[in-house]
A and B are shown apart, each in its own frame.
Chain A
Amino acid sequence: MFDIGVLQILVTILGVVVGIIFGAIPGMTATMAVAVFLPMTYAYDLHTALYLLLGLYVGGITGGLVPAILINIPGTPSSITTTFDGYPMAKRGAGERALKIGIVSSFLGGMISLVALWLFTPLLSAAALKFSSVEKFLIILFALTVIAALSKGQMLRGVFNGFLGVLVSLMGMFSVNNSFRMVPSFLQSKMQEGFQLLPVLIGLFAIAQIFEEAEEGMRFKIEKVNDEMDSKEKFSFRDFKGQGVNVIRSAFVGTFMGVLPGVGGSAASILAYAQAKNFSKHPELLGTGVPEGIVASETSNNGLTGGALIPLLSLGIPGDSTTAVLISAFMLQGIQVGPLFITQNPETWNTILVALLLCNIVMFLCMFYPIKWISKIIYIPRQRLYPVIIMICIVGAYATKNGRIFDVWTLLAFGLVGYIFGKIHLPASCFLIGFILGKDLENYFIQSVSASKGSLMVFFTRPIGWVIWLLIAASIAYAIIDNRNTKKREQQKQA
């Protein structure tokens, strides 16, 4: 039926732990972890290799929440939204609670997506086939509307900065006709693919933050919290009371974003977070450090794991960048994944399900219990922590494209950009979301319009498209109302 043994369990533990390390290091991702270990799996049989690689995948996606919550630096792009509520919690001394909420959410997300993979693969892959470039363009557009919801009372500035992010992401060579735009000629040899996401991300978050605190003289300190004093900030599973809908909705959003090939994994947590805010009973609290936000973000990014395997195993095309690397693990063993893979390799299929289950359990055990000690990182004085973080960020940036100094310069440049954004009140997170989604937005737009011979009507003629348009309209309307309310509240506060 399936393969499991002591060896498999050991490599799973190894994979999950190493994955968590890669995920937690800003600039290193699950994708990189899987790519690093790929050549070594050659020595194994396919099944053992899958235990190792899936462990790295699950660990890598989850590990990102640790620095996101503790030091406001997302370890991976998909944990950006975790910082929104995680860091405020950590700042007020509830870091451990936030981490545990994140870990439990990740586990739930992973398990729900596993069930989806196990039971609904044919259904979901059939649905994915109905999404052509038109629907994908609209989904990306929908994800972009999140910017409006995130900008807390200064919507126009947020949207402006979001589109600025889109514009910056388009710098470089357009892959279809191999032509450069918006790149000075002396940088063309370095910027064929534009700025890399990871250095931009850690620059905007980590380096900008270091500049801000350097300006203030590094005086920032987190007060040690007395355990007894703050028992209401202790984690308990009651934190999940009333979160059932949120968990399931976010896991579903994550899984489905995973199922859609070519829609990046970071879109999952962005969308899930926005939906949590839209449906919340107290949307104004999201972003101030409430469990709801962490639950949405972390459930969805782990929901991605099972989802991204669905098109890989049922159609032969990867659901995200990590599963794209996983394909090679199969190819190294001389196996092609495709539409008949599951029927022709039932044992491997069962093994994948068991491995994913094991990975999620191991991930939970490896993180939930030791996290108490890891959460103490927050008490290390910033003056001592930041130099090491700078070094780690440099390693991460350098490794983004397997070793380019240019990416380290990108890191510094966007550190300064992020710092300046803070000064002129442009929300950096909006810029980043625009930057993440920009290339896909262009790609699917051009694909759709080329296929329709230039007619824009193509975006309005498909039933799934109408549904997404409705969601977009609702999302924007909601954002406008929310923005007004926030402004009013602020004025009342001032008055």
Chain B
Amino acid sequence: MRKILASMLAATMACSALAGCTVGGGSASSSAAPAGDTSSAASEGAAPAAESGTSSLKGSNVRVLIGSTSTSGDSYMIAELVNRYLSQEMGFNGKVDAVGNATALDEIVNAKGDGKTVLISHDITFMSVLFGTVGEQYALENMTVGPRVGQNPGGCFGAAAESPYASLGEVTQYLIDNPTETVSFNIESGGTSHLCFAAYYLWVQETQGDEVASRIKAIVGGTTAEKLQRLWDRNADVIYGDTSAFEQYTQEGVQAQLKMTMFDSCDTVPGVEINSMADTGITFGGEPFVFSKDFCMYFPKDMDANVLAEYEAAMKKVCENADFQADMAKLYYTVLTPDEVGVEASKEFIYAKRDLCKQIIDQAPSLDTLTA
């Protein structure tokens, strides 16, 4: 239970605030201010939980699984944020468990539908089935699609600052102008980066023909940190990652080996100056290509309808909470409207998105070809 520990921490703060008064040291009193802030925040946190936190899960432990093993990626950040606000709204003790995609799917398909286990994950949930990374038993049909919780529009491409291109359009132009050159893209297989890369590849193939497209190469594998190192070693020409992770390397004063340009985000990112893939003119199936990572709750197939409705109502309220909106904005994530969050709308959206992804995956050439 988090509250006990939180109150333990609050107690240390209170002690220090007292000590701060008696000692009266300059630095101690400066730290007493945040201490006062947070301990009052902690007591506020308990108050609304008593008012609006009256769900059937009140007081229970809820496991929030995420499809990533990292606690520094967007999966963790969004799940942790949503968990914090939902815990307050529904009065449960949520805990984010970073178990990784395969384990998370296995757990959610086999869990009891009492709402005490929830998966908050992005499109990897259905893409891993489409790509064949996990078996068909983990298809959307074998679980319940819950409310959507938010979007991360920040996936984008990045290249070394000295490279002769600063957008995907320029990459294409570079390939046309230099018929002996290739450009390598570092992506992860079976993920969002694979999909966005495939969309770009298909677009080049469609507009410029097979020859130009065949000189776009894929390098597969790695976390963001590993991709950055590949770029620094100049073992990859273009890497895929998050605007929030790349932005710091684009600033003035970064040493040449690390300096980057970032371009062609998969969706529009509010507050970041970057052209999107749609701006470049990349289309798929005649439509401008737009792709955000959509985070959504998933529950076991035999989910209790009442609890699901409680989650839906709570998530709608959370979306309108100004603090939640501010916290999401700080990380460049998009908040959804209560209408988008509704379970029916959400299910429709996720299934439609799966169909789109399926089309791209079906058309894209295999990675054996792309990496050769």
Contact = CB atoms under 8 A, between A and B. Distances in A.
Q: Are A and B in contact, CB atoms below 8 Å, in the complex?
A: yes
Interface of A: 3-11, 14, 35, 38-40, 42-45, 48, 129, 132-133, 173, 175-178, 188-190, 192-193, 261-262, 315-318, 324-325, 327-328, 331-332, 334, 336-341, 343, 401-404, 447, 450-451
Contacts of B103: 190, 192, 401, 404
A192 B100 contact: yes
Given A7-B12, A48-B34, A317 B189 contact: no
B133 interface: yes
Contact of A6 (B16, B220, B233): B16
Contact of B220 (A173, A177, A261, A331): A177
A401 B100 contact: yes
B201 interface: no
B60 interface: no
A43 B96 CA distance: 17
B165 to A, nearest CB: 21
B233 A3 contact: no
Interface of B: 2, 5-6, 8-9, 12-13, 15-17, 19-20, 23, 25, 27-32, 34-35, 38, 41-42, 63, 69-72, 76-77, 80, 84, 96-103, 105-106, 131-135, 189-190, 219-221, 225-226, 228-230, 232-233, 235, 244-245, 247-249, 251, 253-255, 257-258, 330-331, 367, 371
A39 B220 contact: no
A408 B174 CA distance: 54
B258 A48 contact: no
A192 B63 contact: no
A7 B253 contact: no
A388 to B, nearest CB: 23
Given A129-B257, A401-B100, A7 B31 contact: yes
Contacts of A9: 16
Contacts of B13: 7, 10
Contact of A189 (B63, B77, B106, B189): B106
Nearest to B191: A178
Contacts of B12: 7, 10-11, 14
Contacts of A324: 70-72, 225
Contact of B228 (A3, A38, A317): A317
20 contacts: A6-B19, A6-B20, A6-B23, A7-B32, A10-B12, A43-B9, A43-B41, A133-B233, A178-B189, A192-B102, A315-B258, A316-B228, A327-B72, A328-B72, A331-B77, A339-B248, A401-B100, A402-B98, A402-B99, A404-B99
Given A328-B76, A334-B331, A7 B232 contact: no
A177 B133 CA distance: 9
A336 B247 contact: yes
A177 B367 contact: yes
Contacts of B29: 5
B77 A193 contact: no
A317 B99 contact: no
B77 A44 contact: no
Contacts of A261: 225, 229
B219 A450 contact: yes
Contacts of B230: 447
B6 A129 contact: no
A44 to B, nearest CB: 6
Contacts of B367: 177
B31 A6 contact: yes
B99 A403 contact: yes
